[in-house]
Structure 1
């Protein structure tokens, strides 16, 4: 499974940036508070107190709460999302996924677990996407590059062996994401259940995917 969660990768990105220690603290604290309480329910005074700085310092550095959110999301889109993708691709390489079913089982369960463990940060990100559709445009290019790159190579191997239907890669990925989302969405955005079983859920998802993605013979 994944080595790092979103919070850990975000911290790494901040450490490698040109931001001051106070700025890094404000952004890290803000991400956690936005995730726990929601953007609208978090005040700048709470952010300042948790970060150990004055409220005036927060405003001086980021002007508004929206400015803080933008300062969080810009590095997430530019750096954290690519790091998440790279970690996932590295995991796929290091596991002996000998056939399409084992590939789907591993990939779906891994991403289910990742989504559930990072549900709060994902909610913050998703809420901002609704307010700022440009984020989708920025992400689409990154996703397409990954799909046409290493993921595309893996899919092509299964196509060449006759295990995977010969559809365009993006069509296959949309199908995978759709099935994955049907399990993840309730856990992230609606009413998460403490007894959610990612192993069982991924097996159910793979059963559907195998029926839809296996070539007709």
Structure 2
């Protein structure tokens, strides 16, 4: 059986079985929330961009907050890959810490880059939206640390990982580097030099930080 790989929100949405009006509302909301923010976007604007009525939006989403959650939840749930068998099969091909880190950084950056609109929305709302923060915390604490412990185990088998690096620290280090790069590439493009070179630099920085 092929792994159920979530690559991008738009691709996932395209293949989801749902009414056209609901799908159109989600696509429109992604674009508007990303451009003008959740608070700066009205359901009237979403309805106009989607080519549907406000009644259609509220038929599928009771509130604008429900619409927001329908956008960010799938991306949050898949930030730590659900296709773990495929992911760890690829990790097993590498024997050294540098090789593993370069694979992880590249794989997760491709996910972030493919979902840049939703990631941008998520970053903005994490600062002010209590429900989004709670949802993210719940997802991380309930399901994904099993995935993270497996990934940490793979890094430890190299014998090159610092003893004081745990799963949470690994997420902060790798996620922080990718997040900063994403911000730079969209808001200060003069600071970036191209994905290939910059991902190599990010990987090298992570390796220096977590190596013995």
Same fold (TM over 0.5): yes
* Equivalent residue number for residue 148 of structure 1: 145
User: Alpha carbon RMSD of aligned pairs, Å?
Assistant: 3.1
The 5-angstrom pairing of residues 94-113 of structure 1 reads 94-95=89-90, 96-113=93-110
Is the counterpart of residue 129 in structure 1 residue 126 in structure 2? yes
* Equivalent residue number for residue 173 of structure 1: 171
* Equivalent residue number for residue 9 of structure 1: 12
Q: CA deviation at 1:151?
A: 2.9
Q: CA deviation at 1:23?
A: 3.1
| Unmatched 5+ stretches in structure 2 | none
- Per-residue CA distance 1:7-63 (angstroms, 9 max, x = gap): 2224555x36xxx54333323322223224444554444322332323454456656
- 8 Å Cα contact 2:105/2:199 also seen in 1: yes
> How high is the TM-score relative to the length of structure 2?
0.76
- Per-residue CA distance 1:78-123 (angstroms, 9 max, x = gap): x442234325645532422332111111211232333334322222
TM-aligned CA distance change 1:172 to 1:124, over 3 Å:
closer
| Unmatched 5+ stretches in structure 1 | none
* Equivalent residue number for residue 195 of structure 2: 198
* Equivalent residue number for residue 157 of structure 1: 154
TM-aligned CA distance change 1:10 to 1:40, over 3 Å:
same
Aligned length, in residue pairs: 205
